[in-house]
Each structure stands twice: as C-alpha cells, then as structure tokens.
C-alpha cells in the first residue's frame, strides 16, 4: 500500500571534494573515449552525445560509459542524506555553444521521477564560474563541489552567463529516490511544483532575460 503523506523535502546540502583525483581522471577518460569515437567515426566529437540545444548543453546520458566507482560514490553519498537510496542514475553534461544555443537553466522542478527525488549536481572542469540556485538560496560553485537537493520539489536554476566560442562548463548530476518512500507524486503535486517554479521565475526574471526569451521562442526549453 502506498503512503498517503508526502515526505518533507531536504534542506539543500553542500558536499565538497566528492570525487577523488583518480575518480575525476576516470570521468574525463570516459568522456575522452566518447569524443575520440565520435571523431573517428563521424569527424564530430559530440556525435555519440545527446545535444540538448534548448538548454545549451551536450550530454552523455548512459552511465555505463563510466567506471562503476562513479555510480558507487554517488550512491554512497546519497545514503548519507536519505534512507535506503535506490541505485542512482547520472549523466555528464557540458554546457557549450557547440550545443547549438547559449547555455541556460531556467527555474524548474524535475519530472523524471515518480517519487520525491534526491538530486546531486557536481561542478567539474570549466572556463567560467556559474552560480547555482535552489529556490532562493544561492550556491557559489567550485571545482568538485556538489549540491544535493530535492529536485522534484525545489525549483533550481542558474542566472544568465555569457559564453564565448571556447567556453564550457562541465557538470555531472545524479538522481535517486528513497526505496522506503512509497508516496507516488500525483498530477496535483506536479501542478504545485510547476506553480512554485513559475513564481521563482517571476521573482528572479531580471537575472535571466536571455534564458526567459529563449524559453518563449523554443518549445520545450526546460
């Protein structure tokens, strides 16, 4: 029988130096292999990545491209924050103009989980600094710094940032749920989250005018 009461979203948590130097090198060795195969097969290093032009990034969506210790580290970290986490899913994303559009992250709540979802975003290598917000709380990001939050319930976003042709911003982000949580999100719950994201968008629209304009120009942004 499913729970009738929704759990309480967590207070966002910052964890620094989540990955060891060897694990960072492992991540980038995996990325380099994807780049090399794309160049060898199609003269396009992004060929085997997914281009999300609406959001301005290219992504490796399949965790099997990475060493299993990356998933293990994410799962172990999640277990410090929520009870009994499911094995995590994760993706690597590079924000870049090579995606076909300028990078943006508008206020939104994720809809990829049927239950309350824990998300962790980790800053990796970059040429630019880019702040991260969960609702009203600003996080000054740094290399190998992670922010953990309830991505299904807490609107999260970034302000506009000017990217040049050679600029990039890499993240690796994971998601999981507690296997102890049996509450399934309803359409009404989703509508409430959408309303929260909309209110956040209106409150901070002065910080992402370009992203806001693109959202209305391109169907499906966020």
Which CATH number belongs to the domain containing residue 96 in this structure?
2.60.120.620
- Neighbouring-strand partners of residue 170: 94
Instruction: Describe the crossing of helices 68-78 and 21-42 by its angle, rounded to 10 degrees.
Output: 130
Of the candidates 81, 80, 75, 71, the one whose C-alpha atom is nearest the C-alpha of residue 9 is 81
pLDDT number for residue 216:
63
pLDDT number for residue 215:
75
Q: Which residue has the tokens 């975003």?
A: 121
pLDDT number for residue 217:
58
pLDDT number for residue 4:
64
Residue 215 located in a structural domain: no
Task: Give the largest CA-CA distance in the chain.
Answer: 53
Instruction: Judge residue 4's burial from the number of C-beta atoms within 10 Å of its C-beta, 0-12 exposed, 13-18 middle, 19 or more buried.
Output: exposed
Residue 5 located in a structural domain: no
Instruction: Judge residue 155's burial from the number of C-beta atoms within 10 Å of its C-beta, 0-12 exposed, 13-18 middle, 19 or more buried.
Output: buried
pLDDT number for residue 222:
45
Number of residues assigned to the chain: 222
Q: How far apart are CA 168 and CA 153, in angstroms?
A: 28
pLDDT number for residue 159:
98
Neighbours of 87 (CB within 10 A): 12
pLDDT number for residue 1:
42
For residue 123, the enclosing domain spans: 13-209
Residue 222 located in a structural domain: no
The total of structural domains in the chain comes to 1
pLDDT number for residue 219:
45
Residue 149 located in a structural domain: yes
Residue 171 located in a structural domain: yes
Q: What is the DSSP letter of 99?
A: G
The token pair that represents 157 in the structure block: 């976003």
Residues of the chain whose pLDDT is less than 50? 1-2, 219-222
pLDDT number for residue 5:
80
Model pLDDT for residues 66-109, shown as the tens digit of each residue: 999 999 999 999 999 999 999 899 999 999 999 999 999 999 99
Residue 131 located in a structural domain: yes
Residue 184 located in a structural domain: yes
pLDDT number for residue 220:
44
Residue 82 located in a structural domain: yes
Model pLDDT for residues 159-177, shown as the tens digit of each residue: 999 999 999 999 999 999 9
| pTM greater than the 0.75 cutoff | yes
């Amino acid at each position: 029988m499913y729970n009738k009461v929704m759990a309480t979203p967590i207070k966002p948590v910052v964890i620094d130096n989540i990955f060891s130097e060897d694990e960072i090198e492992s991540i980038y060795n995996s990325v380099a292999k994807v780049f090399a195969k794309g160049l060898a097969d199609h003269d396009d290093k992004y060929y085997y990545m997914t281009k999300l032009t609406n959001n301005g990034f290219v992504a490796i969506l399949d965790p099997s491209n990475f060493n299993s210790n990356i998933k293990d580290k994410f799962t172990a970290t999640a277990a410090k924050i929520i009870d009994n986490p499911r094995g995590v899913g994760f993706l690597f994303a590079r924000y870049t103009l090579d995606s076909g559009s300028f990078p943006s992250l508008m206020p939104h709540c994720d809809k990829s989980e049927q239950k309350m979802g824990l998300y962790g975003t980790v800053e990796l290598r970059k040429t630019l600094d880019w702040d991260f917000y969960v609702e009203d709380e600003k996080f000054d990001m740094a290399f190998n710094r992670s922010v953990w939050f309830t991505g299904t319930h807490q609107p999260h976003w970034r302000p506009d940032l000017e990217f040049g042709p050679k600029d990039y911003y890499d993240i690796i982000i994971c998601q999981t749920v507690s296997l102890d949580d049996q509450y399934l999100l309803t359409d009404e719950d989703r509508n409430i989250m959408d309303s929260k994201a909309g209110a956040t968008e209106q409150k901070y629209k002065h910080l992402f005018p370009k992203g806001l304009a693109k959202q209305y120009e391109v169907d499906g942004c966020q």
